[in-house]
């Protein structure tokens, strides 16, 4: 029973990732694309966790934290680009 | 015109940075038997420095970490070449690594490998190359 549920959850995560990829390509504004990319990172974490349950191994648990940190850095960089126009400044003006 | 600053990011980064660097060190040392190693550990450390660069600016980070990343790359290559070529002195093929079991006071039984030194070289090379690329691209003038 739990096996079927985990496989169903994997299928639904994959479908939602396809929808998010559509939003990244089509998205009318930059903010839509950034939100969709962040959600793709969250979905990637979920899929990695589900696959590690299916394969019954704990080797992927460190990778989950890795994907989380890298997705966070990417989202912060995009947010700063949207707010200020530059990502890495030479000298702060305040 | 409102004045923008990164107050939330600057507060969060003070806690978050230690976790990211600690995690990169963990993933570097875990790399012999589990997923991880020098490459991904170096990438995580570079990610932590990039987070600092995003939060503050290039001048502050240069005062904080006065490291020339090109020299760091050269040191890493020296480590990798040194541990690889060191095997030639013992009349075994290139890149052969040695290991032995030692007993340390606090840590107990450990098996120490020279492959870790090679991995340390990879770590330095990855940090150096990534930071050189990002600093070269990221400068806006």
Angle of CA points B66, B67, B70, to nearest 5°: 150
For residue A26, being part of any structural domain is answered with yes
Within an 8 Å CB–CB cutoff, is residue B39 touching chain A? no
Percent of chain B with pLDDT over 70: 96
Q: Which of B8, B38, B42, B29 is nearest to B133 (CA)?
A: B42
b (16+ CB within 10 A) / e for B3-33: eeebeebeeebeebeeebeebbeebbeebee
Closest CA to B32 of B96, B126, B124, B118: B118
User: Does residue A36 sit within a domain?
Assistant: yes
What sections of chain B are H helices per DSSP? Answer: 7-29, 38-55, 58-64, 69-85, 115-138
- In a domain? residue A90: no
Q: What pLDDT is attached to residue B3?
A: 63
Are B73 and B128 in contact, with CB atoms under 8 Å apart?
A: yes
The token duo for A73 is: 């850095």
Domain with A61, as residue range(s), is 2-84
pLDDT given for residue B38 in this prediction: 87
Given a contact cutoff of 8 angstroms between Cβ atoms, the answer to whether B102 and B110 are in contact is yes
Q: Which position has the token pair 């040194």?
A: B82
* Distance (Å, whole) CA A7 – CA B75: 48
From the CA of B127, how many Å to the nearest CA of chain A? 15
Mean pLDDT computed over B11-15 = 91
Q: Contact B47/A63, CB-based, under 8 Å?
A: no
What is residue B2's predicted lDDT score, i.e. its pLDDT?
A: 60
Q: Per-residue confidence at B99, pLDDT binned at 50, 70, 90?
A: confident
Contact A92 B50 (CB under 8 A): no
- Write down the mean pLDDT value for chain B: 87
Q: What is the mean pLDDT of residues A7-23?
A: 95
8 A C-beta contact, residue B138 and residue B54: no
Distance from CA of B65 to the nearest CA of A (A): 15
Q: What is the pLDDT of residue B1?
A: 52
For B26-83, how does the pLDDT look when each residue is reduced to its tens digit (9 = 90+)?
999 887 778 788 899 999 999 999 999 888 888 888 888 898 999 999 999 999 999 9
Task: Give residues with Cβ within 8 angstroms of B5, minimum separation 6.
Answer: A94
Binary contact (B58, A91; C-beta < 8 A): yes
Q: Is the pLDDT at A44 greater than 70, yes or no? A: yes
Flag whether pLDDT at B141 surpasses 80. no
pLDDT band of A20, cuts 50, 70, 90: very high
Residue of B nearest to A84 (CA): B4
**Mean pLDDT, residues A23-44 taken together:** 92
- pTM: predicted TM-score of the whole model, two decimal places: 0.84
Give the nearest chain B residue to A60 (CA atoms).
Answer: B35
- What's the Cα-to-Cα distance from B103 to each of B11, B99, B110, rounded to whole Å? 42, 13, 6
* Whole-number pLDDT of residue A93: 66
- Is A91 part of any domain? no
Structural domain count, chain A: 1
Buried residues in A71-84 as b, exposed as e (16+ CB within 10 A)? bbbeebbbbbeeee
Read off the pLDDT band of B113 (50, 70, 90).
confident
Chain B positions touching A59 (Cβ under 8 A) are 34-35
- Residue A94 scores a pLDDT above 60: no
């Amino acid at each position: 029973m739990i096996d079927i549920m985990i496989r169903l959850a994997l299928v639904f995560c994959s479908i939602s990732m396809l929808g998010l990829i559509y939003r990244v390509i089509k998205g009318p504004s930059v903010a839509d694309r950034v939100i969709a990319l962040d959600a793709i990172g969250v979905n990637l974490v979920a899929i990695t966790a589900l696959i590690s349950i299916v394969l019954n191994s704990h080797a992927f648990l460190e990778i989950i934290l890795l994907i989380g940190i890298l997705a966070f850095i990417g989202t912060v960089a995009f947010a700063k680009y949207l707010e200020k126009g530059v990502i890495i400044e030479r000298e702060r003006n305040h | 015109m409102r004045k923008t600053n990164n107050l939330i990011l600057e507060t969060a980064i003070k806690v978050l940075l230690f976790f990211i660097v600690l995690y990169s060190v963990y993933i570097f040392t875990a790399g012999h038997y589990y997923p991880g190693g020098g490459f991904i550990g170096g990438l995580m450390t570079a990610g932590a420095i990039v987070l600092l660069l995003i939060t503050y600016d290039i001048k502050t980070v240069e005062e904080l970490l006065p490291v020339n990343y090109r020299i760091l790359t050269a040191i890493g290559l020296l480590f990798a070449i040194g541990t690889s070529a060191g095997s030639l002195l013992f009349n075994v093929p290139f890149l052969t690594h040695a290991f032995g079991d030692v007993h340390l006071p606090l840590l107990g039984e450990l098996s120490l490998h020279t492959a870790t030194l090679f991995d340390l070289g990879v770590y330095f090379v990855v940090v150096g190359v990534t930071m050189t690329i990002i600093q070269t691209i990221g400068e806006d003038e």
